[in-house]
């Protein structure tokens, strides 16, 4: 089957021993309805429960199941990367193992891609869930910052394998897969997907992820806006500061030698003004230098991305 697989389900799992048998059973019942060859790749992301032994038993019973093991927890982004490397399908589906999403709905996610109507399909959660407020804030910020017009960006999703090539190798950046793919020109759509209460295990989400998520959001926005043209930000900012410093310098010269205006301090130089001039000029030079270095790094990154595209194309030829 591996040589003809069309759809690969990528399943990060951390301490999901109680859910995995039922999840794989549901996959065995639901996925044949896709009408194309499929596989399920489960990544044991450093589990400390019985997940490893459960997965070994399941792999011996289900031929469509592959298991990848991380010796320590590396996070969902790395788990997706490991699963994609092990998978052979050209349509990948991100699905958690906690049974809050059912394999019955995989068909709705992959159908637009198999029909060549979309490159990435994100599920819109239907039903009540604990993190509704945090999710709504995240989705609102994403739509405002990135101009993405889908309702839910942080849910299950199906996407072409090529989408993985444009994803940064950064922790937790799987949350921004949709906005990064859209910025790269991939076609995007969404479909409603029911969300069910968790029946076993515990949620891996904590309040500590909220400030980190906000900072990641700003980082992604900055990279998408200025990552390929860093001089657009640093160069303009540096030139503006340098210009302000030069104007302040001219004003200082006029005050010092032209119009003393009764200020005795100006005879010997007005210290705060001189300090301001120095700060503006030096900051302008530094920012302009950052922009120049950033342009060189952006060029190197583009060359690396092109090499990765060619390597991936050669692997599939």
pLDDT tens digits for range 181-211: 887 888 988 898 988 877 765 555 555 556 6
Same domain, 74 and 25: yes
Q: How far apart are CA 19 and CA 27, in angstroms?
A: 12
**What is the SS3 assignment for 123?**
strand
Which of 182, 100, 181 is closest to 135 using CA atoms? 100
For residue range 243-280, list pLDDT tens digits in order: 888 888 887 777 666 655 545 555 555 567 778 888 88
Strand order in the sheet with 38-45: 65-70, 38-45, 7-13, 91-94, 157-160, 120-126, 188-194
Give the 3-state secondary structure percentages of the chain, helix then strand then coil, rounded to 5. Answer: 55, 15, 30
- Give yes or no: residues 158 and 277 share one domain: no
Residue 153: the pLDDT is 74
Rounded Cα distance between 73 and 46, Å, is 4
Query: Among residues 191, 174, 168, which one has the least CA distance to residue 43?
Result: 174
Is 218 found in the same domain as 141? yes
> Which CA distances in Å does 12 have to 66, 76, 81, 290?
12, 6, 10, 38
Distance from C-alpha of 224 to C-alpha of 247, rounded to nearest angstrom:
33
SS3 6: coil
Contact 97/21 with Cβ under 8 angstroms? no
Pair 94, 58 in one domain: yes
Count structural domains, the chain.
Answer: 2
pLDDT tens per residue, range 109-134:
999 999 999 999 998 888 766 665 66
The domain boundary residue, chosen from 181, 196, 226: 226
Question: Do residues 163 and 238 share a domain?
Answer: no
Tell me, yes or no, whether 190 and 277 share the same domain: no
- For residue 17, what are the contacts with CB-CB under 8 A and spacing of at least 6? 47, 49, 50, 51, 54
- Looking at every residue in the chain, the average pLDDT score rounds to 80
Tokens 């849910």 identify what position? 155
Last residue in a domain, options 181, 197, 226: 226
Residues 270 and 273: their CA atoms lie apart, in Å, by: 6
Encode the chain (317 residues) as per-residue pLDDT tens digits. 445 789 999 999 998 899 999 999 999 999 999 999 999 999 999 899 899 999 999 999 999 999 999 989 888 888 998 999 899 999 999 999 988 899 999 999 999 999 999 999 998 888 766 665 666 666 677 777 777 777 777 789 999 988 887 777 666 667 778 888 887 888 988 898 988 877 765 555 555 556 666 676 777 767 777 767 778 788 888 888 888 888 888 877 776 666 555 455 555 555 677 788 888 888 888 888 887 787 787 777 767 666 766 776 665 55
Regarding whether 54 and 13 lie in a shared domain, the answer is: yes
What domain range includes position 38? 2-226
Instruction: Return the DSSP state at 104.
Output: G
Nearest Cα residue to 274 out of 254, 243, 248 = 248
Q: Which helix (H) or strand (E) holds 8?
A: strand 7-13
Residues 157 and 263 reside in one and the same domain: no
Query: Which pTM value belongs to this model?
Result: 0.70
CA angle (25 as vertex; 19, 27 as ends), nearest 5: 100
Q: Last residue of some domain: 158, 191, 226?
A: 226
Do 49 and 17 fall within a single domain? Answer: yes
| Shared-domain flag, residues 79 and 207 | yes
Any idea what the CATH number is for the domain that residue 193 is in? Answer: 3.90.550.10
């Amino acid at each position: 089957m591996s040589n003809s697989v069309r759809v690969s389900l990528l399943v990060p799992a951390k301490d999901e021993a109680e859910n995995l048998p039922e999840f794989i059973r549901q996959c065995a019942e639901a996925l044949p309805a896709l009408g194309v060859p499929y596989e399920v790749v489960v990544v044991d992301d450093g589990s400390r429960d019985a997940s490893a032994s459960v997965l070994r038993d399941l792999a011996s019973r289900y031929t469509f199941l592959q298991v990848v093991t991380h010796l320590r927890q590396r996070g969902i982004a790395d788990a997706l990367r490991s699963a994609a490397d092990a998978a052979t399908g050209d349509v990948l589906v991100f699905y958690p193992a906690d049974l809050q999403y059912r394999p019955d709905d995989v068909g709705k996610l992959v159908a637009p891609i198999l029909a060549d109507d979309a490159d990435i399909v994100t599920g819109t959660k239907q039903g009540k869930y604990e993190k509704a407020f945090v999710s709504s804030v995240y989705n609102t910020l994403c739509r405002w910052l990135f101009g993405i017009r889908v309702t839910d960006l942080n849910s299950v999703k199906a996407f072409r394998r090529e989408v993985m090539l444009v994803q940064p190798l950064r922790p937790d950046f799987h949350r921004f897969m949709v906005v990064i793919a859209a910025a790269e020109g991939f076609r995007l759509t969404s479909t409603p997907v029911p969300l069910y209460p968790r029946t076993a295990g515990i949620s891996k989400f904590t309040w500590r992820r909220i400030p980190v998520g906000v900072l990641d959001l700003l980082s992604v926005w900055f990279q998408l806006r200025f990552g390929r043209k860093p001089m657009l930000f640093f160069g303009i900012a540096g030139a503006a500061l340098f210009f302000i410093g030069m104007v302040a310098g001219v004003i200082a010269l006029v005050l010092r030698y032209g119009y003393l205006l009764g200020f005795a301090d100006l005879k010997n130089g007005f210290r705060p003004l001189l300090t301001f001039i120095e700060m503006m000029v030096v900051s302008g030079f530094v920012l302009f230098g950052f922009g120049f270095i950033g342009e060189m790094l952006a060029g190197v990154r583009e060359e690396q991305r092109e090499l990765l595209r060619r390597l991936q194309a050669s692997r599939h030829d």
